[in-house]
């Protein structure tokens, strides 16, 4: 096993905790991804020590979720999340509780985890603790609830959407009893805070199997209780692929553009997401009428390329290749408005007039003429154009 820096830092954290007389192991996603020989992102540590004890053992810690027993340890170079063994106590309204109960045994901690593949632990020397057959399910590519699936989904209904997300992320199948339970309980997803739905879908958009994920979302009936029509637009997702989650949100919005406002509100999209969506949807609309120089100028390359992909996925006819976009954009006479040789003050001088709506019209016309290569971008040529041609036209 090749040890990443994170994993090595986690081992040092575990050694220190053990020296103080407590247990500690690596848990959750890191163990799963190691068995899958996938890149491990965050290495989480679980321990029998209480959060206060962890804060005594390490000099530098941050309370990132003390109510849930999580302390971030910074001592060992890489930040490592250390969480006290816990159960989740009482579930109200099918949601994960705000408060948790700390327990002394790792078994209890693993029992509260959602899926067998996520419920394994590993000691610092790499010994696997697998109480629920997680390794076997990894080998068979199965997402299986720990314990009775209906009970687990009624405790925390988000787990149903997590099953779909993990199936897309890992290319796994949801085991049949787990899938039936989701189909039975799918309506409970309506109780879940929209921020948590947002988090899971955000993770899904950058997986390799988004189309498969949407398919399972429909098959599991979760789609019936989520905003957006996944059933009707299933085939539109077939070629979708993205390295940024923003693209997933934008595509969902494009497909459901008749309910754009509702989608944005329901999933509580951020300002960054909203701006990206607005730009891409506008660029997409312009593309259908053929982009002009102003479009190439005003949208950044990413926006243009995403709008282009959308058009392809939507089977729109686009009469040029994607590489063409960067080429056209880089060949524009200017790249930003600051590079235009004149500004509003020049125009006001030349016209001997105060500012007003005419000014924006004239500046836009100058910009477009420069972008189209009709006028050279210097003061003299622009002045000639303004005094002789623009005024005549306007």
Candidate residues 9, 122, 143, 158; the one interacting with ligand ATP per rule CB under 6 A = 158
- The whole-angstrom separation of Cα 133 and Cα 124 is 20
Query: What does 156 interact with, of ligand ATP, Mg ion, none (CB < 5 to 8 A by kind)?
Result: ligand ATP
Count, residues near ligand ATP per rule CB under 6 A: 12
Question: Which phi and psi angles does 87 have, rounded to 5°?
Answer: -115, 175
CB of 233 to ligand ATP, least distance (A): 25
Candidate residues 3, 16, 29, 359; the one interacting with ligand ATP per rule CB under 6 A = 29
Candidate residues 29, 97, 147, 333; the one interacting with Mg ion per rule CB under 5 A = 29
User: Is 113 near ligand ATP (CB under 6 A)?
Assistant: yes
Given the rule CB under 5 A, which of 9-17, 34-42, 199-207, 314-322 is the region that contacts Mg ion? 34-42
Size of the chain in residues: 394
Closer residue to ligand ATP, CB minimum distance, 212 or 236:
212
The contact mask relative to ligand ATP for 58-77 (x = CB under 6 A, - = no) is --------------------
User: Cβ distance 57 to 17 under 8 Å?
Assistant: yes
The contact mask relative to ligand ATP for 39-58 (x = CB under 6 A, - = no) is --x-----------------
Which stretches within the chain are classed as H helix? 5-19, 29-35, 51-57, 106-111, 134-140, 149-155, 158-170, 176-185, 194-205, 210-219, 245-255, 260-266, 271-288, 293-298, 301-313, 323-330, 344-351, 357-371, 379-384, 391-393
- Tell me the residue number closest to ligand ATP, measured at CB: 29
Pairing relationship of beta strands 128-129 and 142-143 according to DSSP bridges: unpaired
CB of 32 to ligand ATP, least distance (A): 6
Residue labelled with tokens 């994993």: 7
User: Cβ distance 191 to 94 under 8 Å?
Assistant: yes
- The whole-angstrom separation of Cα 58 and Cα 12 is 11
Closer residue to Mg ion, CB minimum distance, 161 or 252:
161
Enumerate binding residues for Mg ion (CB under 5 A).
29, 42
């Amino acid at each position: 096993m090749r040890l990443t820096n994170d994993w090595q830092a986690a081992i040092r954290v575990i050694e220190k905790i053990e020296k103080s007389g407590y247990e500690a192991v690596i848990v959750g996603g890191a163990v799963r991804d190691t068995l899958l020989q996938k890149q491990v992102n965050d290495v989480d540590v679980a321990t029998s020590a209480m959060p206060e004890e962890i804060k005594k053992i390490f000099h530098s810690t941050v309370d990132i979720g003390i109510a849930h027993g999580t302390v971030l340890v910074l001592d060992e170079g890489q930040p490592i999340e250390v969480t006290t063994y816990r159960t989740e106590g009482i579930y109200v309204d099918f949601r994960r509780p705000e408060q948790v109960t700390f327990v002394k045994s790792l078994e209890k901690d693993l029992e509260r985890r959602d899926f067998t593949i996520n419920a394994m632990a590993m000691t610092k020397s790499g010994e696997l603790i697998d109480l629920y057959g997680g390794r076997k399910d990894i080998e068979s590519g199965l997402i299986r609830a720990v314990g009775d699936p209906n009970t687990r989904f009624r405790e925390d209904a988000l787990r149903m959407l997590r099953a779909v997300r993990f199936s897309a992320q890992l290319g796994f199948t949801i085991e049949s009893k787990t899938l039936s339970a989701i189909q039975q309980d799918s309506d409970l997803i309506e109780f879940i805070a929209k921020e948590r739905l947002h988090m899971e879908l955000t993770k899904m958009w950058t997986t390799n199997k988004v189309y498969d994920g949407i398919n399972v979302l429909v098959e599991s009936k979760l789609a019936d209780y989520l905003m957006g029509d996944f059933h009707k637009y299933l085939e539109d997702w077939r070629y979708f692929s993205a390295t940024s989650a923003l693209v997933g949100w934008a595509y969902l919005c494009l497909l459901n553009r008749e309910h754009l406002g509702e989608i944005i509100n329901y999933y509580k999209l951020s300002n960054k997401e909203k701006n990206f969506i607005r730009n891409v949807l506008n660029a997409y609309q312009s593309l259908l009428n053929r982009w002009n120089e102003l479009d190439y100028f005003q949208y950044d390359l990413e926006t243009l390329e995403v709008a282009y992909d959308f058009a392809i996925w939507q089977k729109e006819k686009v009469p040029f290749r994607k590489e063409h976009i960067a080429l056209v954009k880089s060949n524009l006479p200017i790249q930003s408005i600051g590079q235009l040789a004149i500004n509003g003050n020049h125009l006001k001088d030349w016209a001997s007039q105060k500012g007003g709506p005419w000014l924006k019209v004239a500046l836009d016309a100058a910009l477009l003429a420069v972008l189209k290569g009709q006028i050279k971008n210097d003061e003299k040529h622009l002045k000639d154009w303004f005094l002789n041609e623009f005024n005549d036209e306007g």
